[in-house]
Amino acid sequence: MATQHSRSAARAMMAPAVVLLLGWMLIPLGMTLYFSFKKYLPLRGGDLGWVGFENYERFVSSSAFWPSVQATLIIVGGVLAITVTLGILFALLLDQPMWGQGVVRILVIAPFFVMPTVSALVWKNMFMDPNNGLFAHLWRFFGADPVVWLTEAPLFSIVLIVSWQWLPFATLILLTAIQSLDGEQLEAAEMDGAPTIKRFWYIILPHLSRAITIVILIQTIFLLSIFAEIFVTTGGAFGTKTLTYLIYQRVLESQNVGLGSAGGVYAIILANIVAIFLMRIVGKNLDA
């Protein structure tokens, strides 16, 4: 259903969204690229001229770089492992017949709606505080010495907090996917004599593979840029400085814009590698 009229109207009506997003993408991106090739210190002399790829080299050769990559990988990998595994288990459980399913669903989904600064602060103080936190109470109850979570196990603590926030997302999406599984397929497998474990392994898991991939990709993109959780809990101390946080510090705290911009370009490239896989999957779905 398209006439010349409606096609030109369509172009005109798409224009604002396209132009805005194009500007939103290209202008800052262009500026970041521009700064990344400059020695640019706003508080210490401003624009000090072109430096070629020096910022890129300095960013990766700085002593903070590899630890930040490591922290990023541990956080992203840890959260993914926890949320996907538990997400599958919870989704399977929630799909079972039970009383009060709707209420349980609501309980499980709730953490996703808690703003990141709130969850970080609540966990940091009310659970992980070595003096008054609930964990400290619990440890003492069993006669153990309270753990100073954010200094003794900082990465683990952050993984815990972020997993709590993202577990509902994984569970909800995997539950939706499980519910779209054709019940007859499972019944057929049962008639064929497949035991529960095999039914899970050969039918449910393959059916979920696409949803799992999507959960992994979307979470990766969001997890690569977690900020508030670190900002509020450790401020990047104790080895919790992720790539994102390192760039943030370079730009806003030490005001080395050139160096930070080079880091930003690395982050953009990294995110795009993940995004390409995600877009492939989403794009395939568009044709259907």
Partner 1 sequence: MGRIVLEQVSKSFGDTEVIPPLDLAIEDGEFAVFVGPSGCGKSTLLRLIAGLEDTSGGRILIDGEDATAVPPAKRGLAMVFQSYALYPHMTVRKNIAFPMRMAGIDRAEQDRRIEKAAAALNLTDYLHRRPGQLSGGQRQRVAIGRAIVREPAAFLFDEPLSNLDAALRVGMRLEISELHKRLDTTMIYVTHDQVEAMTMADKIVVLRAGVIEQVGSPLELYKTPRNTFVAGFIGSPKMNLIEGPEAQRHGAHTIGIRPEHIAVSAEGGPWSGVVGVSEHLGSDTFFHIHDTGLGDMITVRADGEVGFRHGDRVSLTPRMDVLHKFDANGLRIA
Partner 2 sequence: MARAVTTRRKTINTALAWAIGLLIFFPILWTILTSFKTEGQAIADPPIFFFFDWTLENYAIVQERSNYMRFLWNSVIIAIGSTLLGVAIAIPAAWSMAFVPSKRTKDILLWMLSTKMLPAVGVLYPIYLIFIELGLLDSRAGLVIVLMLINLPIIVWMLYTYFKEIPGEILEAARMDGASLRSEILYVLTPMAIPGIASTVLLNVILAWNEAFWTLNLTAVNAAPLTAFIASYSSPEGLFYAKLSAASTMAIAPILILGWFSQKQLVRGLTFGAVK
Which CB atom, from 12 or from 269, has the smaller least distance to partner 1? Answer: 12
Which CB atom, from 12 or from 103, has the smaller least distance to partner 1? Answer: 12
Binding of partner 2 at residue 91 (CB under 8 A)?
no
Partner touching 64 among partner 2, partner 1, none, CB below 5 to 8 Å by kind:
none
**Euclidean distance between CA atoms 167 and 84, whole angstroms:** 8
Binding segment for partner 2 among 46-54, 62-70, 77-85, 260-268 (CB under 8 A)?
A: 260-268
Partner touching 107 among partner 2, partner 1, none, CB below 5 to 8 Å by kind:
partner 2
* Shortest distance in whole angstroms from residue 47 CB to partner 2: 12
Binding segment for partner 2 among 43-51, 75-83, 147-155, 248-256 (CB under 8 A)?
A: 248-256
Partner touching 166 among partner 2, partner 1, none, CB below 5 to 8 Å by kind:
none
- Site for partner 2, residues 52 to 81, rule: CB under 8 A: none
| CB-based contacts of 52, cutoff 8 Å, min separation 6 | 37
Which CB atom, from 4 or from 96, has the smaller least distance to partner 1? Answer: 4
Exactly one of 37, 56, 59, 90 binds partner 2 (CB under 8 A); which one? 90
> What are the residues binding partner 1 (CB under 8 A)?
1-5
Residues near partner 2 (CB under 8 A), total: 109
- Region of residue 224 (left: phi > 0; alpha: psi -120 to 50; beta: else): alpha
Kindly state the tokens that stand for 35.
């700064």
Binding of partner 2 at residue 209 (CB under 8 A)?
no
Question: For the chain, what is the HEC assignment?
Answer: CCCHHHHHHHHHHHHHHHHHHHHHHHHHHHHHHHHHCEEEECCCCEEEEECCCHHHHHHHHCCCHHHHHHHHHHHHHHHHHHHHHHHHHHHHHHHCCCCCHHHHHHHHHHHHHCCHHHHHHHHHHHHCCCCCCHHHHHHHHCCCCCCCHHHHCHHHHHHHHHHHHHHHHHHHHHHHHHHCCCHHHHHHHHHCCCCHHHHHHHHHHHHHHHHHHHHHHHHHHHHHCCCHHHHHHCCCCCCCCCHHHHHHHHHHHCCCHHHHHHHHHHHHHHHHHHHHHHHHHHHHHHHC
Exactly one of 111, 148, 153, 199 binds partner 2 (CB under 8 A); which one? 111
Binding of partner 2 at residue 153 (CB under 8 A)?
no
Which CB atom, from 64 or from 114, has the smaller least distance to partner 2? Answer: 114
Partner touching 4 among partner 1, partner 2, none, CB below 5 to 8 Å by kind:
partner 1
Exactly one of 66, 140, 198, 237 binds partner 2 (CB under 8 A); which one? 140
Partner touching 286 among partner 1, partner 2, none, CB below 5 to 8 Å by kind:
partner 2
Binding segment for partner 2 among 29-37, 59-67, 73-81, 191-199 (CB under 8 A)?
A: 29-37
Which CB atom, from 115 or from 205, has the smaller least distance to partner 2? Answer: 115
Residue 262 and residue 243 in contact, taking contact as beta carbons nearer than 8 Å = no
